A and B are shown apart, each in its own frame.
Chain A
Amino acid sequence: MAWPTIDRQSPVTDSDAPPLLSDEVKAKIRSFFERYETRRAALLPALHVVQESLGYISWRAMDEVATVLDIPASEVFDVVTFYTHYWTKPRGKKTIVVCRSITCELMGAGVLLEAFKRHLGVGEGETTPDGAYSLATEECLAQCDHAPCVLINEKKHGRVKPDDVPALLADPDNDKLEVPRSDLYDPVLGEDATTRPRGGERKG
């Protein structure tokens, strides 16, 4: 069996392309510096800001974050891929996350995931052709008492049954938060607190 070798020597980013991170995003990242003893410590919030702005964290974005924080790009790569909350591929306007941990699994999350796949026509980690939805799974969403549970962007839905899926997908407000987001989370400057556009809608 041929076993291809992944080329890691060639750059995957185009060095001539204009910078990906806007000045606004960079300023936001720099504003975290004073909170921590080291710049490295600002990596997680910085990545959130980048993901908010771009929808996902590309190779180039990782490299640029590394430059802003003055840390090696390899360490950004390391952290981004460790956390399932960071996306390394473009994703749809809304991301559906189905819990795959034990309580939800026992309460039917497996069947539910299959229902989402069927209705969306995509698999795990994939995005619908119209760019509306991406589908993902995640370890325990800390909503075991409402198992099986699902997140659509940041809005949680508990006790979701496979039959509920069509209605849920049809509801335009399925990601509308009832309570404002905590400002501890550092939304990108000037953002509406209750709905959060993502993905396809890039800023700046």
Chain B
Amino acid sequence: MPKIEIDGIEVECRDGITVLQAALEAGWSVPHYCYHPGLSVVASCRLCLMEMQMPSPKGGGMEWSSKLVPSCQVPVKNGLVVRFASDQVKRNQRRVMEFLLLNHPLDCPVCDQAGECLLQDYSYEFGDPTSRMRDEKHKSPKKDIGPRTLLYSDRCVLCTRCVRFTREITGTHDLCVTHRGSENEIDVFPGKALDNPLQGNVVDLCPVGALLDKDFLFKQRVWFLKRTKSICPGCSTGCAVSVDSNEGVVYRLKPRYNPGVNDWWMCDEGRFGWKYMHDANRITAPVIRRGGVTGTPPWDSVPEIVDARLRAVIEAHGPDKVAVVLSPMMACEEAWLLVRFLRSVASEATLVLGPVPIQGQLQMFPVGSTGDAVRFTIRREKCPNRRGVETIIAETGGPTLSFEVFCEQATAGAFAAAWIVGGYPEPWVTKDFAKAVGQLEFVVAQDLFPNEVTEVATLVLPACGFAQREGSFMNFGGRIQPFDRAIAPPDGAKGDGQYLYELAGFTGLYSGRAVREMMAQEIHLFSMVKEAPPMPVHQH
């Protein structure tokens, strides 16, 4: 590990990084726009400049170089001596900030980025409070560059992070820098809009308010948002994300750095795939059907109802006539609790993994890349936890069936009762499945939206969206990733984990972590949870 000296302090740093990264990791606050650890280094913004010791041209030892050098471009090397705490460095930061703000409209009060803007932060920390610009500002236009993204080019600092993203990560080359000098602008070729499956990341990358997300535009001030660690349930990749919410409403998803899975990025499908959680059609309260009469049972009567009805079925038909259809949308903890409960009542209950939604093609980026060159993958399996639920089924043992065989056998009358978990944002009940369910005497349906199964089920329990639950998902590669609850379940509903916890005979509040610890006693694998590491430095 190389040791370098920054401002007279010895710093030990990771191999192969730049002085800027080393300084940031060691706690220095160094302004930087064009540098982003996920992109190539261009050293164009000149904000991160430092002083460095170099061999004296007169010979005999080292001396401070007369010119400043970009710290984002100098690799760390044992014995390197640099400084940021110098008048020359500070003066440069002030002047660069002044240049960047020459033509900036200073419209923070109406800018979505306010509150998470590096122009604001750096102006405050490194800039001058006033501008000496007397000429009229050059006003660059606002551009509608894609179906989801707006470009306010007058706020742009030309760091080119966005351009490099579409060249290096997506390989779609949508964005470019046009014109020259003070007329420089980011643009797309007219008619070839910014519309690639990862385009939302350019909004995250933009250090200022130039690239903005139309979906989030003017919806919420960022300082009102509560940030919760979550995992995107959109596909089996399992990107680490943050859910940004306020007063029980989700406003946006942002990727969270996880080098083992998604680096700094996420796809648009996941980014905008949470809207169903606030859909007015959702099932929000339990429903019971008794002899043609439909009612809403109080939550605390649910365990009794389920228990009594299941026992009745078992008595009449035998303990092997019960099945549970688990959903790959469930958290590991939820699946484990449900299996544990059902097997405690019906010891020979059959475990079935519900349908695994497969859609489209495996998408690898940059487009056309293979092997090690792949920087991001969107998977076909549009659910977060097939592997987790499969693991629980396999480790629990006892009778299991595939979904197809279960449908056939249930249609043929092999089962009398079933607990069916959905939780898919899209309609998922097939004709065959509805027919199979029609044969059953007692059905508990746990789902987000009304469908052919919830229409006939004896008991319907509301399921919650991922941001309303907590637990863990096992991604395509077997990585178990915990996620936290961002918002409360809708009024009247209860979190899936909570009622399954109560059914399984526990009292008090459900906690993903506590259940995971219990699970780990039985299934050792679940002790190996992999959290995304903290962001190495303050970066967005």
Closest to A73 in B: B189
Interface string of B177-192 (1 = CB under 8 A from A): 1111000000111111
CB atoms of A78 and B178 under 8 A apart: yes
Q: How far is the CB of A88 from chain B (nearest CB, A)?
A: 10
Closest to A15 in B: B191
CB atoms of A81 and B179 under 8 A apart: yes
Residue from B177, B180, B190 in contact with A8 in the complex, judged by beta carbons closer than 8 Å: B190
**CB contact under 8 A between A10 and B142, given known A81-B179, A82-B178:** no
Residues of A within 8 A of B191 (CB): 8-13
CB atoms of A9 and B145 under 8 A apart: yes
Residues of A within 8 A of B173 (CB): 72, 74-75
CB atoms of A6 and B144 under 8 A apart: yes
Closest to A3 in B: B142
A87 on the interface (CB 8 Å rule)?
no
Residues of B within 8 A of A7 (CB): 144, 190
CB atoms of B188 and A74 under 8 A apart: yes
A59 on the interface (CB 8 Å rule)?
yes
Residue from A3, A8, A84 in contact with B188 in the complex, judged by beta carbons closer than 8 Å: A8
B contact residues, range: 20 to 34
| Docked complex: B133-186 residues within 8 A CB-CB of A | 141-147, 150, 173-180
In the complex, A62→B147 CA distance in Å?
Answer: 23
In the complex, A18→B448 CA distance in Å?
Answer: 53
A126 on the interface (CB 8 Å rule)?
no
In the complex, A8→B144 CA distance in Å?
Answer: 6
In the complex, A62→B177 CA distance in Å?
Answer: 15
CB atoms of A74 and B189 under 8 A apart: yes
Residues of B within 8 A of A182 (CB): none
Residues of A within 8 A of B192 (CB): 11, 72-74
In the complex, A10→B193 CA distance in Å?
Answer: 8
Q: How far is the CB of B109 from chain A (nearest CB, A)?
A: 15
In the complex, A35→B187 CA distance in Å?
Answer: 30
Residue from A5, A9, A82, A84 in contact with B193 in the complex, judged by beta carbons closer than 8 Å: A9
A63 on the interface (CB 8 Å rule)?
yes
CB atoms of B178 and A77 under 8 A apart: yes
CB atoms of B190 and A10 under 8 A apart: yes
CB atoms of B143 and A78 under 8 A apart: no
Closest to B171 in A: A72
CB atoms of B146 and A77 under 8 A apart: no
CB atoms of B150 and A5 under 8 A apart: yes
CB atoms of A82 and B179 under 8 A apart: yes
Closest to B141 in A: A6
CB atoms of B143 and A5 under 8 A apart: yes
CB atoms of B142 and A74 under 8 A apart: no
Closest to A80 in B: B178
Closest to B105 in A: A3
Closest to B151 in A: A8
The CB with the most chain A CB atoms within 10 A, among B173, B177, B190, is that of B190
25 contacts between A and B (CB under 8 A): A5-B142, A5-B143, A5-B150, A6-B142, A6-B144, A7-B144, A7-B190, A8-B144, A8-B191, A9-B147, A10-B190, A62-B189, A72-B174, A72-B189, A74-B175, A74-B176, A74-B187, A74-B192, A75-B176, A77-B176, A77-B189, A81-B179, A82-B178, A82-B180, A84-B180
Count residues of chain A with CB under 8 A from any CB of chain B: 24
Given contacts A4-B141, A82-B178, 9 further A-B contacts (CB under 8 A): A3-B142, A11-B190, A63-B189, A72-B174, A74-B176, A74-B189, A75-B176, A78-B177, A84-B180
In the complex, A5→B140 CA distance in Å?
Answer: 11
The CB with the most chain A CB atoms within 10 A, among B144, B174, B175, is that of B144
Interface string of A11-38 (1 = CB under 8 A from B): 1110000000000000000000000000
The CB with the most chain B CB atoms within 10 A, among A8, A10, A62, A76, is that of A8
In the complex, A6→B174 CA distance in Å?
Answer: 17
**CB contact under 8 A between A8 and B150, given known A75-B173, A78-B177, A81-B179:** no
In the complex, A11→B188 CA distance in Å?
Answer: 11
Closest to B174 in A: A74
In the complex, A63→B191 CA distance in Å?
Answer: 11
Residues of B within 8 A of A77 (CB): 176, 178, 187, 189
In the complex, A173→B508 CA distance in Å?
Answer: 96
Q: How far is the CB of A50 from chain B (nearest CB, A)?
A: 16
| Docked complex: B405-420 residues within 8 A CB-CB of A | none
Residues of B within 8 A of A59 (CB): 189-190
In the complex, A5→B150 CA distance in Å?
Answer: 9
In the complex, A62→B187 CA distance in Å?
Answer: 15
Residues of A within 8 A of B189 (CB): 59, 62-63, 72-74, 76-77
In the complex, A147→B144 CA distance in Å?
Answer: 44
Q: How far is the CB of A137 from chain B (nearest CB, A)?
A: 13
In the complex, A188→B179 CA distance in Å?
Answer: 27
Closest to B173 in A: A72
Q: How far is the CB of A73 from chain B (nearest CB, A)?
A: 4
CB atoms of A8 and B193 under 8 A apart: yes
Residues of A within 8 A of B146 (CB): 8-9
Residues of B within 8 A of A78 (CB): 176-178
Closest to B179 in A: A81
Q: How far is the CB of A193 from chain B (nearest CB, A)?
A: 31
Residues of B within 8 A of A62 (CB): 189
Interface string of B242-280 (1 = CB under 8 A from A): 000000000000000000000000000000000000000
Closest to B192 in A: A73
**CB contact under 8 A between A9 and B178, given known A63-B189, A74-B189, A77-B189:** no
Q: How far is the CB of A82 from chain B (nearest CB, A)?
A: 5
Q: How far is the CB of B234 from chain A (nearest CB, A)?
A: 25
The CB with the most chain B CB atoms within 10 A, among A9, A13, A73, A75, is that of A9
Residues of A within 8 A of B179 (CB): 81-82
Residues of A within 8 A of B177 (CB): 78
Interface string of A80-92 (1 = CB under 8 A from B): 0110100000000
Closest 4 CB pairs of A and B: A11-B191, A72-B173, A78-B176, A74-B176
| Docked complex: B175-217 residues within 8 A CB-CB of A | 175-180, 187-193
| Docked complex: B106-155 residues within 8 A CB-CB of A | 141-147, 150
Q: How far is the CB of A87 from chain B (nearest CB, A)?
A: 14
Residue from A8, A11, A13, A81 in contact with B145 in the complex, judged by beta carbons closer than 8 Å: A8
Residues of B within 8 A of A74 (CB): 173-176, 187-189, 192
Closest to B147 in A: A9
